[in-house]
Structure 1
Amino acid sequence: MHFTEAELMAKVTAFVWPLIRIGALFIAAPLFSLHGVPARVRLILAVVLTLVVMPVLPPLPPIELFSYQGLLIAAHQVFIGLATGFILQMVFGAIVFGGQGIAYGMGLGFASMVDPQNGQQVPVVAQFYVIMSTLIFLAMDGHLLLIKLILDSFATLPIAVDSLDKADIWSIIAWGSRLFAGGLLLALPVIASLLLVNVSFGVASRAAPQLNIFSIGFPVTLMLGLLLIWLTLPSVLENFTGLLMDAYELIGQILRI
């Protein structure tokens, strides 16, 4: 078997550019970017998916891999993969944000544990919501749908120098605001109820100053917070599902699917 230098570089280019897009997705996407998932596993998955998608790739631009335009194409592939994972990462960030608001409202802000998603300390209430959301994400085959979208994107958004336009970039930036809006929407029923309870205890402490409001208010707030979490859990998970569908719709819009 004899290969010329141009043929060999074409084969390497057809492997490296899709690998960069898929690998960037695994770096930023939920579940795949967990600290418990070894980097070797992510690399093996990226290589396997790249080998699967290589035979069906559209014609690549006649650009050398290590040229200026080749590096620009590689940067675009990194941005596409990271942006796709970032959109879904904001959905789970909204869950963490809402859970933190609930935990601080019911007095459990001090009870925290390490979040395996980002390796940071988060309240246990937020971690409970993250676990439930992750189970729903897996039950809906969200990880498989994400892989399907990134593989289909090579046909709808081929490898080129100008793959994304400014409108797509602004859509991704605007999506970051959903972290706060979605988290507040998820936690608003519990936070509003706990606020009314705290106002009631404030009125009681003014009416009866001899009442030890701290020894009475904390157990009541804690038990009421746990009850409200149980009552509002179906609606919270339903809102998470809607937020997840919006994220997939935005991903499909950016990837032209």
Structure 2
Amino acid sequence: MNLELLRAQIELLGPHIVSVALCASRLLPVVFLCPLLGGQSAPTTVKLALVLSLSLFLHLVAGVGVDAPVETPVTLGALVLKEMVYGTSVGLIAALPFDAARMGGRFIDLFRGTSAEASLPMAGSRESATGDGLYQLLVTLVVTGGLFPLVLSGVLRGFGVVRLGAAVPSEAAALYVVTLAGGAMATGLAVGAPIAAAVLTVDCLMGMASRAAPQVNLQDLGAPLRILGGGALVWLGVGVLCERLLAGVVGVDEALRWMGDAAR
């Protein structure tokens, strides 16, 4: 009798477990890719707990669930794989503005000398200080500036637009993600272009000065001038750089809306 009661309880909870598992399958790549929900900085246990919490909220409070019962484990595995693929696309779109900030900072430090710290003897590492700085600054501005609910609502609204198990991979959606990735790379290059031009100007002036006065040793001044000049330009233009990057964050909601329409 107890076994029959337990079997009845399992059959009753089965659809709820499947719905929560599919919600978690879509949210898992988003949480691991988007820095606003954890990204690479948060511990894995925290990200997994966030995925479970949001999945339970979506199913129990928002009423997100599967439209048809899942009969076999093979069907469940196929639905989980489909949700993970769609969630990866959503996570990539949500993370692209922040990746653009990191790419722009690395582009700046590439022209300054791989990194500002590595150009100095016996100091620093080979990491990009400007890239990590712009990345963390953008995350801080989004969280404190009111754009975080916009991105989060765009991610969660997708569960109402694309029901669980209903995502359809298409060539248009794949090309759209690739186009957005190219736009993020272009934004990163645009962020670093003024500083790169300034560094090249400094190198040109140092080269002409060395040709004009060969008796003066100016080779040791190149690296410090690139570091100080590029750093000064980044400090003076950080407001303009952040506005350009925040514009990409504002466009995430519209991009997620288009992605949802394409995946239905």
TM-score (ref. length: structure 1): 0.85
Deviation at 1:76, TM superposition (A): 1.5
Q: Distance in 1 between matches of 2:58 and 2:236?
A: 46
**Which residue of structure 2 lines up, in the alignment, with residue 103 of structure 1?**
109
* Aligned residue among 213, 235, 238 for 2:240: 235
Cα distance change, pair 132–36 in 1 and its aligned pair in 2 (3 A): closer
Deviation at 1:217, TM superposition (A): 2.8
Question: Would the aligned equivalents of 2:155 and 2:256 in 1 still touch at CA under 8 Å?
Answer: no
1:86-235 equivalent positions in 2, closer than 5 A: 86-107=92-113, 109=115, 111=117, 122-235=127-240
Question: Would the aligned equivalents of 1:24 and 1:82 in 2 still touch at CA under 8 Å?
Answer: yes
* Aligned residue among 58, 73, 87 for 1:66: 73
Q: Distance in 2 between matches of 1:218 and 1:244?
A: 34
Given residue 98 of structure 1, which amino acid in structure 2 is its aligned partner? G
Please give the per-residue CA displacement for 1:104-147, whole angstroms capped at 9, x wherever unaligned. 323362626xxxxxxx9631122221221121121234444333
Question: Would the aligned equivalents of 1:149 and 1:252 in 2 still touch at CA under 8 Å?
Answer: yes
Given residue 63 of structure 1, which amino acid in structure 2 is its aligned partner? V
Identity of aligned residues (%): 20
3-state SS of paired residue (2:127): strand
Cα RMSD of the aligned pairs, angstroms, is 2.5
3-state SS of paired residue (2:261): coil
3-state SS of paired residue (2:163): coil
Q: Distance in 2 between matches of 1:130 and 1:90?
A: 11
Cα distance change, pair 65–209 in 1 and its aligned pair in 2 (3 A): farther
Question: Would the aligned equivalents of 1:72 and 1:161 in 2 still touch at CA under 8 Å?
Answer: no
Deviation at 1:162, TM superposition (A): 4.3
Given residue 78 of structure 1, which amino acid in structure 2 is its aligned partner? M
- In structure 1, stretches of 5+ residues that fail to align are 113-119
Given residue 189 of structure 1, which amino acid in structure 2 is its aligned partner? P
Deviation at 1:161, TM superposition (A): 4.7
Question: Would the aligned equivalents of 1:99 and 1:127 in 2 still touch at CA under 8 Å?
Answer: yes
Deviation at 1:163, TM superposition (A): 3.2
Cα distance change, pair 107–21 in 1 and its aligned pair in 2 (3 A): same
Equivalent residues, number: 249
Q: Are residues 1:39 and 2:44 paired?
A: yes
Cα distance change, pair 47–188 in 1 and its aligned pair in 2 (3 A): same
